[in-house]
Amino acid sequence: MSAPDFTAIPVLDLEQANTDKAAFLSQLQHALIHIGFFYVKGHKIAPSFLDSLTKQTIGYFDLSLDEKLKTDKIHSPTFLGYSVQGNEITKNKRDNREQFDFANELPATWTEGHHIHERLTGPNLWPHEDVLPGFRQSVLSFHQQAQDLAEMLTRLVAEALGLEPNALLDHYVLPGQQHRAKLIKYPAVDQLDPNDGTQGVGPHRDTASLLTLLYQANDLPGLQVQNHAGAWIDAPAIPNTFVVNIGTGLEYLVHNVAIATTHRVLNPPPGRGPRYSIPFFLGARLDKKLAPIDIPQRILDQRPQTVVTDSGHQFGRVYKSDPGLYAVLNRISSHRDVGAKFYAQLAKEHGIITSLPSVGY
């Protein structure tokens, strides 16, 4: 018997994980199996730090286009860096957002003959320190704090699914691997062209990762979550919380008991300016085929029967045999210009059209 479908996203209090762990884990189990999304409050990332990160984020997007284009993704096969408004594609439609992708700093090591996923790893493309003082430090500090929180949550997720706390991290995350994150701006609608449509980001599931932590940096609506009957449920900004959701990596690795729920973002409402958000993705390792973990039968028995989704889940079958290739294909599909420049042959082999008309900038 499955529970009635959700109409709101629950708020879990991390403090409760210390005071009444059993109650916390029971709420978490319900959210994982029946919703795939939850908010967390009671985390230790300081509100003053998040405010300063928001200021740095706005400062970055307020730079001149020329300055931002110095950090354009097109300069690197890692898909780290800036992408201009309208450059990203979800479900074959342009998204109305500009963004700056970043990760923990690692050198590039890929050379011909290595597995292609290694080409995703490499250094960030930073604006010059004089142009945006403190930006790099703030963004990297966020990355570290978000990773710590995501790892703590992954331990709790394991326990909520009847596993040892470190079971997921030990099997599926490599110490020192690169985890991706982004700063996103959804432009005010009066800055958009009438033909740009309503898609901030189209319906999708977060690919190849275990967990996403999303900080909604200002209070504009837009994020919506698709419940398992197919209805869209608002996930409004709640101050000093993170929205947490499950990636397709975790879903596969726990036999679909935790659901990588579909979500989307609509353009900001007219007259309210741009919306800013900052997701961090705790990635699953990409270096080899991964076997799903044994989950207790009492948990498997609660698995939802049907999940309606508007997301395509492209290349889903590839994940099972080659998570690294799956991650690369999804990046190419989202950022076709980088795909055409660095991965043309692979894109062709997998039917990804990279010759979309370019955006005028």
Ligand X SMILES: O=C(O)CCC(=O)C(=O)O
Reading the block at residue 343, the tokens are 């991965």
Indicate the residue among 43 and 263 with the shorter CB distance to ligand X: 263
- Shorter beta-carbon distance to Fe ion: residue 132 or 216: 216
| Among ligand X, Fe ion, none, residue 223 binds (CB under 5-8 Å by kind) | ligand X
Q: Which of 234, 231, 232, 257 lies closest to 246 in space, CA to CA?
A: 257
Which element (helix H / strand E) includes 226? Answer: strand 223-226
Of the candidate residues 34, 117, 180, 263, the single one contacting ligand X (CB under 6 A): 263
Rounded Cα distance, 217 and 49, in Å: 12
Q: Which does 214 bind (CB under 5 to 8 A by kind): ligand X, Fe ion, none?
A: ligand X
Q: Least distance from C-beta 261 to ligand X, angstroms? A: 11
Nearest-CB residue to ligand X?
277
Name the residue nearer to Fe ion (CB basis): 161 or 223. Answer: 223
Least Cβ distance, residue 267 to ligand X (angstroms): 12
Q: How far is the CB of 142 from ligand X (least distance, A)?
A: 15
Length of the chain: 361
Kindly tell me which of 34 and 263 has the beta carbon lying closer to Fe ion. 263
Which of 35, 120, 125, 265 is in the footprint of ligand X by CB under 6 A? 265
Q: Of these, 83, 248, 277, 311, which contacts ligand X (CB under 6 A)?
A: 277
Closest C-alpha among 282, 284, 285, 288 to residue 322: 288
The helix-helix angle for 135-160 and 21-34 (nearest 10°) equals 100
Residue 154 or 199: the one with the smaller Cβ distance to ligand X is 199
Task: Specify whether the CB–CB gap between 259 and 249 falls below 8 A.
Answer: no
Residue 88 binding Fe ion, by CB under 5 A: no
Using CB under 6 A, count the residues that bind ligand X.
9
Could you tell me the smallest distance in angstroms from the CB atom of residue 200 to ligand X?
7
Count, in order, helices (H) and strands (E) of the chain: 12, 14
Residue 223, classed as helix, strand or coil, is strand
Binding mask 195-214 for ligand X (x = CB under 6 A): ------x----x-------x
Q: CA quadruple 38, 277, 281, 134: dihedral positive or negative?
A: negative
Give CA–CA dist 208/213, Å, rounded. 14
For Fe ion, the binding residue among 206, 251, 322, 337 (CB under 5 A) is: 206
Q: Which of 74, 183, 184, 233 binds ligand X (CB under 6 A)?
A: 184
Contact with ligand X (CB under 6 A) among 160, 189, 223, 347 = 223
- Give dist(CA 334, CA 34) in Å, integer: 28
Q: Which residues between 8 and 47 bind Fe ion (CB under 5 A)?
A: none
Q: How far is the CB of 184 from ligand X (least distance, A)?
A: 5
DSSP 107-172: -----TTS-GGGGG-----PPPTTTSTTHHHHHHHHHHHHHHHHHHHHHHHHHHTTS-TTHHHHHH
Ranges within 242-261 binding ligand X (CB under 6 A): none
Residues that bind ligand X (CB under 6 A): 184, 201, 206, 214, 223, 263, 265, 277, 279
Residues that bind Fe ion (CB under 5 A): 206
